[in-house]
Amino acid sequence: MSERKQMAHEERYAVLKQMLEDRRRDIQDRLRSLRETLPAQVLEVKDAEEQSVQDFVQDVELALMEMKSETLGQIDEAIRRLEAGTYGTCANCGREIAEARLKALPFASLCLECQEMQEEARASVRSQESRTASSFATTLGSVKAEGEL
C-alpha cells in the first residue's frame, strides 16, 4: 500500500471510529438519563387513569432502552470489525457496503441488498407464524364450540 493510500486509510479509520464512539456515548448518556428518571416516576401517587398513562409511557421507555442497548451492541461490533479491517464489507456476500449506507447507519454489517433479503425472509417467517397461530385459534374455537353443544 502506498504511503498516500495508507494515510487515507488511517484517516478514514479514525473518522469512522470517532463517529461510532460518539454514537455509543450519546446512546449511553440517553440510557443513563432514562434509568435515572424511571425510579422517580414510580414513587409518585397517581389515580387509575394517570397510572395507566404512566404504565404506557414506562413501557415505551423500557422498549427504547432495549433498542438502544441493542444498538450499543451493534456499535461495539462495528468497532471490532473496524479494528479487524472488515468494516464496510458485507458479512453475508463480502461486497463493499455503500458509503452512503455507512454514513446513515454506521454499524451496518450487511449491504442494502442482503439486508433487504434478510428482512423479506423475516417477514415471510412472521407471516407464516401468524397464519399458523390464526389457524390454531380457529381450530381451538371450533373444538371449544363443539364441546359446548
CATH of domain 3-110: 1.20.120.910
Q: What is the pLDDT of residue 7?
A: 77
Q: What is the pLDDT of residue 63?
A: 80
Q: What is the pLDDT of residue 69?
A: 83
Q: Mean pLDDT, consecutive 10-residue segments, the chain of 149 residues?
A: 75 84 86 72 67 77 82 89 90 93 90 95 84 65 56
Q: What is the pLDDT of residue 39?
A: 59
Q: What is the pLDDT of residue 30?
A: 82
Inter-residue contact 109 to 81 (CB < 8 Å) = yes
Q: Compute the distance between CA of residue 141 and CA of residue 135 in angstroms, rounded to an integer.
A: 10
Q: What is the pLDDT of residue 42?
A: 55
